[in-house]
Homo-oligomer: A and B are copies of this chain.
Amino acid sequence: MQIAILLYDRFTALDAVGPYETLGRLPGAAPVFVGARTGPYRNDAGSLTMVADAALSEVTAPDILVVPGGPGQSALMADGPLHDWIRAVDAGTTWTTSVCTGSLLLAAAGLLTGRRATSHWLALDQLPAFGATPTGERVVVDGKYVTAAGVSSGIDMGLTLAGRIAGDAVAQAIQLGMEYDPQPPYDAGSPQKAPAEVTAELRERSRFLLNGE
C-alpha cells in the first residue's frame, strides 16, 4: 500500500508527519515522500528540512495521497505540472487526503468540487471559490476524499483513516504505540475555544501570513 506524501518548499512539517506516523504504521504501508524534484525541502520557518526520495514522475499509482499544507501552498495554486500529477494519481487512489491548507491544493486541482471539506480555520473561507463546502469538523470524509483541519489534525485524520482501512484494533495499536493520549495544558486549539483576544490577534497576524509572510 503505497502512501505518497507531497513535499514542497515552505510546507508545515507536522502536517506531513502526523499522517506519516499514523497511516505509515499500517501493516504493509510503504510511505514515500515525493516532490517536484528529489532532495531536501525547507519548511515554513526555514529551520527544518525533510527529503523527498522520489520525484512526481516516479510515483504514478499511490494507494493513498497525502497533501500537507503550509504557507508554500499559496505559490502552487496555479494550474500546472503539480496539479496534473495530483489529478493523475487521484484517478487511481483509494484515498486522497490533505491536512491544513493542503485542501486548497486539492480544491485548486478540481478534486473537491461539490464536496464537503475542511482546512486550517484561517483558510476555510477560501474553499467555496473552488466549489467546495467548508465544514467546521476536524476530519471530513466525503467519498474517498479526506480533508483535515489545521496542522495537528493530521494525526486524528490518520487514525480515522487507519481504522477504516485496517479496523479498529490496528488503529488503536497505532494510537497506543505513539502514546496519543492528548493532554494539552490549555484548551485553546480552535477559534471557538481560545480566548477571544488570542483568536483576534492570530487572525490579524494571518492577514500578513496568508499573503506570503
Contact = CB atoms under 8 A, between A and B. Distances in A.
B198 A179 contact: no
Contacts of A51: 40, 49-51
A150 to B, nearest CB: 3
A189 B180 contact: yes
A202 interface: yes
A163 interface: yes
A173 interface: yes
Contacts of A31: 45, 47-48
Contact of A152 (B20, B155, B189, B197): B155
A211 interface: no
Given A17-B14, A30-B47, A156-B185, A121 B179 contact: yes
Interface in A162-190: 163, 168-169, 171-173, 175-186, 188-190
B151 A177 contact: yes
A202 B186 contact: no
Interface of A: 12-14, 17-18, 20-21, 24-25, 30-33, 40, 45, 47-51, 53, 100, 120-121, 138-139, 149-153, 155-156, 159-160, 163, 168-169, 171-173, 175-186, 188-191, 193-195, 197-199, 201-202
13 contacts: A14-B17, A25-B45, A47-B53, A49-B51, A50-B50, A138-B183, A151-B177, A151-B178, A156-B185, A172-B194, A172-B198, A175-B184, A176-B189
